[in-house]
Amino acid sequence: PLGQVLEDLFDKYDKRYYAKRLDLELEPEQKEGLMNSLKQTPPDNMDGLAVREAIDIDGMKFILEEGSWLLARPSGTEPVIRIYLEADSAEKLQRLEVFAKSLIDS
């Protein structure tokens, strides 16, 4: 089975990745405001994880020092910002998720 092949690769290379997608529902003006804020004043850390690079292509992608990343991308058809997360541990993924959810509270 394909799942076993994937597990074997993880074991062979001793590397695992964790990914998640969040859909943050916002009013259109909130969505635009959040994206503008991320572009104009990008965060320098996300829940204590240092941001190495901010890329303004197809949304805002933040690459962290240790390799994790977060992409915030506004939907063109719904009042939603989609947040894509990837990390090399479940704990880091959880920290990124907490940070992402805090964006709509600020």
Return d(Cα 61, Cα 71) in angstroms, integer.
4
pLDDT digits (tens, 9 = 90+) for 21-66: 999 999 999 999 999 999 999 999 999 999 999 999 989 999 999 9
Which residue range(s) make up the domain with 57? 16-103
DSSP string across 60-101: EEEEETTS-EEEEEE-SSSSEEEEEEEESSHHHHHHHHHHHH
Evaluate whether residue 4 is within a structural domain: no
pTM of the model: 0.85
Evaluate whether residue 69 is within a structural domain: yes
92: Cα separation from own chain's centroid: 11
Evaluate whether residue 67 is within a structural domain: yes
Q: How many structural domains does the chain have? A: 1
Residue 60's domain is classified under what CATH number? 3.30.310.50
Return d(Cα 93, Cα 98) in angstroms, integer.
9
Evaluate whether residue 9 is within a structural domain: no
